[in-house]
Chain A
């Protein structure tokens, strides 16, 4: 550790504001960059699910029998990665 104390680390001989703000903003941008695609993927998946439920409900209204067999038949092929 180069700095003696937390205070020295934060101040960095007067350059602390510049160094820490540069790091802060950069890490914020990187965090947004990393999180955004995961959020987008989750939103898409839930939108697709909502569409499926709407369609299922519409199908149920048209024909009274439950039509759930087609969706759960082929589960083995996709090991869905889930964060």
Chain B
């Protein structure tokens, strides 16, 4: 157990492991994404209330789910790097932030595009949309803090603290935004309940969610590999690696 843990702290080992994982996970996740999205786009029946516009769900919901999970991945990596001073956890944390921010952006954007035909407006200050917007701000705050430090080791620790503060706050923010929305809910907009989703629509959605998780992992690993190279550029193994593949 502890030897494995120590191995994770070793940059060359992690670089090679992530390389071999990526080689099969990336094609599989792209294939799963294509299948999930293609199934949802082409083979499912339209929603009886929203028509075909509901097909955006196959990209909106997975992006939102994984974006939220990504924040916790980032915070857990930050916690590990703070407690055990593990450099590779720093790398993971810094690698997760842009991926999570991009997924949050996708969720917001597809939500807005979905909102136009469904509610007649691009943007509604609905509880979930507002929470996602705040999540985007949290991601961007972590990224901005990292960039502001010249000393990258200090930057990683500062970001770890910020993301941990964020994890404590996210449930509070979500609950309060939820409550705030129930207080101000405009009568003109009716939201369709999600609890009754037909299995024929659910399976492609689940596949798509799994594909997004896998893609998140791929992007995380690929970002980590680039970051490891950047940090270890002066070491012997990176120098040998560079001279080997032309």
Binding site for B on A (CB under 8 A): 1-3, 9, 12-16, 18-19, 21-23, 25-26, 29-30, 32-34, 37-38, 40-41, 44-46, 48-49, 52, 71-72, 74-75, 77-82
Question: Which 5 pairs of residues, A with B, have the shortest CB-CB distance?
Answer: A81-B19, A37-B222, A12-B52, A48-B242, A15-B53
Partner of B242, one of A19, A34, A37, A52: A52
8 A Cβ contacts from B22-79 to A: 22-23, 26, 30, 33, 37, 41-46, 51-53, 55-56, 59-60, 63
Q: Count of B residues near A, CB < 8 Å?
A: 55
- A-chain residues with CB within 8 Å of residue B110 when the two chains form the complex: 22, 25-26
Most buried by B among A30, A52, A71, A82: A30
Binding site for A on B (CB under 8 A): 12, 16, 19-20, 22-23, 26, 30, 33, 37, 41-46, 51-53, 55-56, 59-60, 63, 98-99, 102, 105-106, 109-110, 113-114, 116-117, 215, 218-219, 222-223, 225-226, 229-230, 233, 237-246
- Check if A29 sits within 8 Å of B113, measured CB to CB: no
- Check if A44 sits within 8 Å of B229, measured CB to CB: yes
- Check if A48 sits within 8 Å of B245, measured CB to CB: no
A-B contact number at CB 8 A: 130
- Check if A81 sits within 8 Å of B42, measured CB to CB: no
Partner of A26, one of B59, B230, B237: B59
Question: A9–B44 Cα gap in the complex (Å)?
Answer: 12
- Check if B55 sits within 8 Å of A29, measured CB to CB: no
Most buried by B among A3, A21, A46, A80: A80
